[in-house]
Amino acid sequence: MEQGFTKANSSNLPRVDLLTLGEFLASNKDFCSAEFRNVKTTISSRPSYGDDAVSYVQLKRDGNLCIMKAKICPEHKVHAKLYGVTLIIDEVDEAVKSVECHDCVASQGGCKHAIAFLMWVHRRSEDPSCTSVECYWMKSKLSRVGNTLKYITSIDLSNGKPSLPSNSGVFEKFLEEGKKRKLNDCELLKYQKDYVCDTLERLSMHKLVLKYKEKSCDTFLKKIVLTDGDVIKVEEETRDQHQSYLWHEIRYGRVTASRAYEFSRCKTSDGTLIALIMGGKLPDTSAMKRGRMLEDKVRKTVSTRLGKKIQKCGLMLCKK
């Protein structure tokens, strides 16, 4: 223990409530960056890691400031050197001044050990008060694995209790409200048994496979019936081509005219061609973008030179 510091326990810890925590995370660029959108912060703040990794917590009060220091056990090397973390809190203004890890190579950009200790202090502030005093100057559970603690199970890593009790009422109410409003762009509704998809979406190969679950390919093809009206509607709705959702949906799993020649000579069952037919994408190059931009101009120029009107065409399905 360092000079001037005392052992931390449940009775002398500073309070870090939710508002204090949120204000610090929102104003600190190390933990609120558009690059990772708080994904790393969320992972590092989970109780299953922090509660088992924090050890040897000590603190010192200097005027309005409370300086806390602790040791964090590395998650990937439990017997390696413990990382030192320092947290400074202004108890009068109820603000977190700084939190810093001193030994991690990623500490300059706000590492996981700093956020894990900050969240640990926050969780201790939210714990209900009890008559007994718990001392936090002890070895962490993770660093004891293999020594005093021979093994640790996944159940012991966390309390296994959900933060909120299971309640399906909100989910059912959302489904009911979504059906009343006839939402068309909600993916959650599409997975319900009573969901009825759009007439043209039913012609998607994905929808047809789910509808006609047959072992025989010949039987499956016989059950697929396309009318002249279906072919005309699909062509009209897909004239925007790559800008149309239906254009991508109907093309999925089908051999188009642009790939017919290549497909007739393909001998690989899991190559690039099959991946493209099954929805794979090629990198969007500058030449491809230029081609899309010039498509209307080229159509207009060719129409003028030939003296014929060239119309946009959508996806034409073959009924056979």
Q: Residue 67's pLDDT is what?
A: 92
Question: How would you write the pLDDT of the chain (320 residues) with one tens digit per residue?
Answer: 888 899 888 888 888 888 888 888 888 777 655 444 455 555 555 666 667 788 888 999 999 999 999 998 887 776 778 889 999 999 998 899 988 888 887 767 678 888 888 888 888 887 766 666 777 777 776 666 656 555 666 666 655 566 667 778 888 888 888 888 877 777 787 777 777 777 777 788 877 877 777 667 777 777 777 888 888 888 888 888 878 878 888 888 888 888 888 888 888 887 888 888 888 877 888 888 888 888 888 888 999 999 888 888 888 888 77
Backbone dihedral angles phi then psi of residue 319, each to the nearest 5 degrees: -75, -20
Please report the DSSP string for 105-138 in residue order: TTGGG--HHHHHHHHHHHHHHHSPP-SS--B--S
- CA–CA gap between residue 80 and residue 109 (Å, rounded): 22
Longest dimension (CA), the chain: 93
Cα dihedral 206, 207, 211, 217 in deg (nearest 10): -30
Give yes or no for a contact between 205 and 217, defined as CB atoms under 8 angstroms apart: no
What SS3 class is residue 261?
A: helix
| Predicted model pTM | 0.43
Helices (H), the chain: 18-27, 39-44, 47-53, 112-126, 154-157, 169-181, 205-211, 217-223, 228-237, 245-251, 260-264, 272-277, 286-306
Collapsing DSSP to helix, strand or coil, 9 comes out as strand
Q: Is 45 exposed, middle or buried (0-12, 13-18, 19+ CB in 10 A)?
A: buried
Residue 65, beta-bridge partner list: 62, 90
Q: Which of 266, 248, 270 is nearest to 315 (CA)?
A: 248
Do residues 137 and 28 touch, judged by C-beta distance below 8 A? no
* Integer Cα distance of 59 and 299 in angstroms: 75
